[in-house]
Structure 1
Amino acid sequence: MSRLKRIVEALLLLGIVILLFLTGQKWFETDRSGNIHELSGTVLSVDNSEIFQAGAGTVGNQTVLVIVNEGHWKGEQVTAVNHLNGQMDMDELYQPGDTILLAIQVKDQQITHAKAINTFRQNWELVLFILFAVALIAYSRIIGLKALFSFVASLGLLWCYYIPNLLNGADPLPLSLSVLVLLSMVIILTVAGATRHGIAAFLGTISGLAVTLILTLFFGDKLNLGGMTTPFSTTLLVQGNYGLNMQHIFYSAVLLGASGAAMDIAMDVSVSMNEIKLKRPDITMRELIQSGFNVGRMVIGTMATTLLLAYSGGYLTMLMVFVSQGTSFTRIVNMKLVAAEIFRILIGSIGLLMVAPVTALIAGVLLTAYVETSPPAKDYLETN
């Protein structure tokens, strides 16, 4: 009966994941007027006569002849413009045979204007996602399906609720806290179930985020970080979003970045303690909490360095510029952009330091309480 229950649960979760995936295009649809369509196309020929080199970049308009690959206009040839602004991180110069994304403007079902947007990468991104999903399910089985569900659901929550509300002027910090609490609940309780170690991981995560928020508000003010260090902040304001509180949006980004590692550590500690309890049902609360502390210390020992390497990897080229120019250490650490990243790393790490012991305390109490009415082994078998 238990095996049948797990099979039904797995099929239900898989069905939900597939449904969410198939409706994913609706989540990311940006134009609802019906006049603008985004379609893939193959470049047939290019005209580079109106572009010229500007240093390492390219400036001007590239004209491309493209055949549409999908939709109502499949097979039609259109002339599209590729605007080049000299920004090497954004611009793309196309060649015949390239598959690109087109934005076409339509009137009376006829294409009136076309613009080249980007290289069409969606199909290979889909292959990569499928590879990730297969590897996850092959190794983790039912837990992998639950993790996949929480992954897709979290993406939908962020894209369909969190970001639109930020753009509509909602107070970033209360909104972020509510979303992170909901995300933590969805992710942890989906994977671990409504078990005692799952609840301990959830409560430990929330406690770590509370500490992170307090530290973020205090040290963010002391370091005078205004929030314009995050990518595309200037673009967001130029587009007319002048009423946004960019400082609190930056603080929210710090919380969001720390939440994933907090959930990871909380789950590591609580699951390890649950396994110990299963193997030694007679273990005392004090011994179990001490074991949780030991696990937490080992996890924290590598997690802080993990955060440093993750952020350093994102800004590797910036660090290379500093070294090549012989920039002094004092000047580097006082730069606004660098200070913001140091702020992210250290605030996140301190928050993680709180997650491990708090989770160990909560898990120790929950896992050793009411053993008579809810044996740990039964709890484990029914939820995994």
Structure 2
Amino acid sequence: MRKNIRLLLIVGLMVIFATALTYFDSFLYHDPVVRVTNVKNLSKNTSKDQYKNTDTQITQRVSGKLLNSKNKGKTISFHNTYYKSQLTDTKYKTGQQVILAHSGHSYSPQNIKRDTSLVFTFGLVIFLLFCMKFDRKKLFISVLINIVIFYGYMQSIIKTHNNALLLMTIITALLISATALLVILGPTYSALMAFSSTVVATTAAMLLSTFILGMTGYSGIHLELNDYELQPYLSVFLSQVIFSVLGVILDETMDISSSLIQMKKELSDVTDKTLFKSGINIGRELIGPLINILLFIVIAESLNVVLLYLSNGNSVGYTLNMTLSLGVTQLLISAIGIVLTVPVTSFIASKVITRRLN
């Protein structure tokens, strides 16, 4: 107990030290950095459009002391104009550190210096992970390896100019799944069961969904409305679906497989049919929460666009059709994968567990 408290204390002190270090690291920046000491509003103008949406434009005079450059310690000021909605601009407050652009004798704001808050947030996550008693080394290793894999995936997309996007997505998804399972579960039959179940369920869901969408001619699905209208539309859409459903199916297969393994260890005479039925029962309890999680993600990702459409006088039907069609389609494909995972994982796990543990 004392050892754990001592470890948590050391990690907490390291997080505090790293956060404090980034607060005073302005000397590492090439651009001037200023600490805001005074903010005064000079003007305020409110405008209203034809749909009765209102926004207010505010002009600030921001003063502060330079923290680096040859003029360190000098008090400077600059003007900043922002809208109350802060969609593409920023409101500056006293105490913030701001990165500036220097031209002649004048300064203009570029962005807020955010490294302190980022380091603190990342450190807080690490501290909370140390509070939980599990193998943190495996988590960090799997995350780092998957980051490297994803970096290679992006480099391959850049070199091929999206010509092999779907193929590279499939290969990346297989590598990420295999890496996560091998690092977390080790080279065991449990990892093999989870991997094979994930591949079979995901493949079946994608093929079935693509067939159904092809039969309908993608009616009502606006593939061209993906972010920034990236092409090829279908490959981009299917790549998004693969990555979105992969993590959920991995979690589901691991839950079912580990539960059946534990059941076999406690009841050595249990048959594969009983294991299969137990896996189905376990999966039924997982389907609802997992689909709801994906639904909340779709709503969260599309809420800002939905509000934008509605606030500009569009009807509810048109808004939902133009903003949620892709998200709902992804949700339906993911739901098919989640449902198919239950019998697939239950069947594979019941057969493998019965033979291996016997």
TM-score normalized by the length of structure 2? 0.72
Question: Of 202, 213, 232, which aligns to 1:245?
Answer: 232
Q: CA deviation at 1:353?
A: 1.2
SS class of match (2:270): coil
Q: Which residue of 2 aligns with 1:340?
A: 326
CA RMSD of aligned residues (A): 4.0
Deviation at 1:247, TM superposition (A): 3.9
SS in 2 for 1:141: coil
CA contact (8 A) 1:147 1:191 kept: yes
Structure 1, gaps ≥5 residues long: 1-17, 23-35, 238-243, 373-384
Other structure's SS at 1:95 match? coil
Structure 1 residue 162 corresponds to structure 2 residue 153: yes
**Whole-angstrom CA distance in 1 between matches of 2:138 and 2:71:** 39
Bigger Cα displacement from structure 2, 68-77 vs 221-230: 68-77
Partner of 2:22: none
Cα deviation per residue 1:83-118 (whole Å; 9 max; x = unaligned)? 858973332121342223x37589xxxx99976343
Question: Which of 129, 138, 148 is the aligned partner of 2:140?
Answer: 148
What CA distance in whole angstroms lies between the structure 2 residues aligned with 1:271 and 1:71?
58
Cα 1:65/1:272, change in 2 over 3 Å: same
Q: CA deviation at 1:60?
A: 9.7
Q: Percent identity?
A: 22
- CA drift at 1:371: 3.2
Cα contact 2:302–2:324 (8 A) shared by 1: no
1:229 aligns with 2:225: yes
Which residue pairs with 1:26 in the alignment?
Answer: none
SS at structure 2 position matched to 1:222:
coil
In 1: Cα distance, 2:302 partner to 2:284 partner: 28
Q: State the one-letter code of the partner of 2:122.
A: F
The alignment partner of 2:225 has SS state of coil
Change in 2 beyond 3 A, CA 1:95/1:370: closer
Identify the match of residue 177 of structure 1 among 162, 170, 175. 170
Instruction: Answer whether contact 1:216 1:251 (CA < 8 A) is retained.
Output: no
| Cα distance in 2, alignment partners of residues 155 and 81 from structure 1 | 40
Do the aligned partners of 2:190 and 2:258 also contact (CA within 8 Å) in 1? yes
Give the SS at the match of 1:272: helix
Report if the CA contact (8 A) 1:61-1:82 is conserved: yes
Uncovered stretches (5+) of structure 2, i.e. residues with no partner: 1-13, 19-28, 49-53
Change (3 A) 1:54 1:162: farther
Change (3 A) 1:327 1:151: same
CA contact under 8 A between 2:194 and 2:257: conserved in structure 1? yes
In structure 1, the partner of 2:86 is: 88
SS at match of 2:298: helix
Larger radius of gyration: 2
Confirm or deny: 8 A CA contact 2:59 2:82 kept in the other structure. Answer: yes
**Number of residue pairs aligned between Structure 1 and Structure 2:** 322
Residue in 1 that maps onto 2:263: 276
Deviation sequence 1:243-292 (CA, Å, 0-9, x none): x4244223211221111111111111111112112222332222212211
Indicate yes or no: 2:126 matched with 1:133: yes
Structure-1 separation of matches of 2:237 and 2:107? 36
Q: AA paired with 2:325?
A: A
Match of 1:292 among 267, 279, 303: 279
2:343 to 357, 368, 377: 357
Q: Does 1:97 align with 2:95?
A: yes
Deviates more, 1:354-363 or 1:310-319: 310-319
The letter of the residue matching 2:339 is L
Is 1:211 matched with 2:204?
A: yes
Residues 118-141 of structure 1, C-alpha deviations (whole Å, 9 max, x = no match): 333332333233333333343242
1:116 aligns with 2:112: no
Paired with 2:72 and 2:90, the residues of 1 have a C-alpha distance of: 24
Deviation at 1:47, TM superposition (A): 8.1
Kindly state the Cα deviation for residue 299 of structure 1 after the two structures are TM-superposed.
Answer: 0.5
Q: Matches of 2:134 and 2:105 in 1, distance apart?
A: 50
